[in-house]
Structure 1
Amino acid sequence: MTTEPLLSVRDLRVAYGSGPGAVPAVRGVDLELPAGRKLGIAGESGCGKSTLAMALLRLLPPGASVGGEIRFAGEDVLTMRWGRLRAVRWAGASIVFQGAMHSLNAVHRIGDQIAEPILLHRSAPPARARERVTELLHQVGLPPDRADAYPHELSGGQRQRVMIAMALACDPRLIIADEPTTALDVMIQAQILRLIGRLVADQDIGLLMISHDLAVLAETCDRLAVMYAGRIVEEGPARAVHTAAHHPYGRALASAFPRVGDPASRRAPRGLPGDPPDPSALPGGCTFRPRCPRTDDRCGEREPALVRVGTAHHAACVHAGEGSR
């Protein structure tokens, strides 16, 4: 007997605009996330990560078109009626956005902002909502009296904890975290990541975490998918993708950050020249070809499909499995 994953994405396609001028942002993405597991999505800005996250709960702007299948807890998100989708967005799945200061309302106390989804989606009386706010603040490591504070009275790390408390307010089964620690210093970042990991384990929820930093995802997640030009180009166990990527883009992302205790990488992080391609003018064949150090004639023939390169590890490269150069 097989158990359906908490989140299942099949051939997801997202484009902005319509007709011949439509710009593809996500191109045929497949993903699975079981309950109690953590999946990381990595890639540079412009690779489609945030568009993918917004598509999962139909939060894209009106000009976007979506195709494929998104199933959450066995239900098709793309065919849900508005009332059901509205309930799923808080009680089923929630999002922790990048930049808490821009997501919180500056003129409302944070306790009221955390209580709002509880009052709306759980129809809880005000007294019970206040109790739940106290529970959530304690859960994310904030004293209860912070409920009376305004966002500007909190530090960056505290505001991010408030965002996590809001995401947990209605006991969702899935949390989507879009760059949740980008604006934080490394010490606070480590605290937030430990907090997220503990909450996932304690509450058996699924976590989809988006970041440009492979090292952060490798420390936090069970599995890791690397996106480039709107597609998944590598997917596998997080540690394996971080330390032994088979796609040259995955290796470039991993080597772009200096390693603590490694003087050579600190003095000369390798990085990657150039930028991701314009989604409206993608190159033929492998979209990574213009930046790839290993390109040859085969790379221009077609866009590579994901192929198995190890145990539960796949990469979309004609050189996958040949070893690094």
Structure 2
Amino acid sequence: MTLLELDDLSVTYRIASGEVPAVRGVSLKLDSGAALGVAGESGSGKSTLAMALLRLLPRDARVGGRILLDGEDILTMKWGRMRAVRWAEASIVFQGAQHGLNPVRRIGDQIAEPLLVHNLAKPDQAGKRVAELLEQVGLPTWRARSYPHELSGGQRQRVMIAMALACKPRLIIADEPTTALDVMVQAQVLTLIKELIAEQNISLVMISHDLSVLADVCDQLAVMYAGRVVEHGPSREVFHEAKHPYTGALAAAFPTVGDPVSRLAPKGLGGDPPDPMDLPTGCSFHPRCPVALEECASLDVELWPAGDSRTAACVHVRAKEEAS
């Protein structure tokens, strides 16, 4: 059963010098209990997409298309209905827990706030639910009396996850939840996220630049470049057998543990992402693509079937499929 569907989603920012297309015609689906990863470099549009899912974009953003949550379009919801959806039906774990928590309020009060706002607990009952949530994310219950500055980065991120779980939503959006953490703490938080999703049958949209993390946590993976999805399919297949040159370059940028060759001579992707206000003609990736053809400068290929349950926006993929 489809829980979340993006239908031709577009987001454009209006600034003094013109309009900046951040997300361009993205269509994706997420089933109940499944996990979707969205990957890409900085500026690819993945965080803008995440914020659009709960209408958290600034006022200068113009959003088009549809965002259907259980068949109901988030973009046309009245404000009262939108407030009811946030936290109770869909919640978000922000990228920086240090900035997502109020520094002058105790942790327990902040976790309890969505419960009280949505009338899911009375003030004298909220403490019990807060204790349950802290235990779920691996923190001692006495931490409810702590302030954010008294916690480590990993502990603060666990608090953000507890807040997201407070109202038992069906969908959680995680915008690079482990970026600011060291490798060991990152692994612990990712393990926690996977366990909670499995135990509580929660759907997940996870944003990251790290394909290896998404391949480990998510069922499906969508790779974005210049505001568009350029490849989509089962996460491990996309990570290990990329069909689009951009996806392959992102995957190759990670060194292989125990392989000195990959460590001393890492592969990567030359150049910088394009300026959204001055996108190249044809395929937006062609100026950086190692296998670009002459036609790539003028032909803008849409997502094309690339095997079982896979799509990729590449002229090479289209040529192979047409030949087979």
Question: Would you say same fold, with TM above 0.5?
Answer: yes
* SS in structure 2 of the partner of residue 106 of structure 1: coil
Among 153, 160, 166, which residue is 1:163 paired with? 160
Match of 1:300 in 2: 297
- Structure 2 counterpart of 1:308, one-letter code: P
Look up the match of 1:42: 39
Pairwise mapping of residues 166-177 of structure 1 onto structure 2 (< 5 A)? 166-177=163-174
**SS of structure 2 residue aligned to 1:33:** strand
Alpha-carbon displacement from aligned partner over 1:235-293 (angstroms, at most 9, x marks no partner):
01101111110100000000111111222211111111111100000000000011001
Q: Which runs of 5+ in 2 are unaligned?
A: none
Conserved 8 A contact 2:45-2:224: yes
In the TM superposition, residue 122 of structure 1 has moved relative to its aligned partner by: 2.4
Matched, 1:241 2:238: yes
1:163 to 1:295, Cα distance in 2 relative to 1, 3 A: same
Query: Are the structure 2 counterparts of residues 322 and 194 from structure 1 closer, same or farther at C-alpha, using a change threshold of 3 Å?
Result: farther
Aligned-pair identity (%)? 66
Structure-1 residue corresponding to 2:112: 115
Aligned residues: 320
Q: Does 1:318 align with 2:311?
A: no
Q: Deviations over 1:80-126 (max 9, x none)?
A: 01000001011010010011001101110000000011011125211
* 1:147 paired residue number: 144
- 1:18 and 1:157 map into 2 onto residues whose CA distance is 36
Equivalent in the alignment of 1:66? 63
* Residues 281-300 of structure 1 aligned to structure 2 (within 5 Å): 281-300=278-297
Q: 1:151-204 CA distances to partner (integer Å, 9 max, x unpaired)?
A: 010011100000000000111100000000011111111111111111111111
Measure the CA separation in 2 of the matches of 1:141 and 1:123: 23
CA RMSD of aligned residues (A): 1.4
Q: Distance in 1 between matches of 2:179 and 2:16?
A: 36
Do structure 1's residue 55 and structure 2's residue 52 form an aligned pair? yes
Q: Which runs of 5+ in 1 are unaligned?
A: none
Matches within 5 A, 1:131-146: 131-146=128-143
Contact 2:304 2:318 in 1 (8 A): no
Instruction: Give TM-score, length-normalised by structure 2.
Output: 0.96
Output the amino acid matched with 2:147.
Answer: Y
Partner of 2:203: 206
Q: Which aligned runs of 4 or more in structure 1 are off by greater than 3 angstroms?
A: none
Contact 1:38–1:206 under 8 Å retained in 2: yes
Whole-angstrom distance in 1 between the partners of 2:107 and 2:141: 11
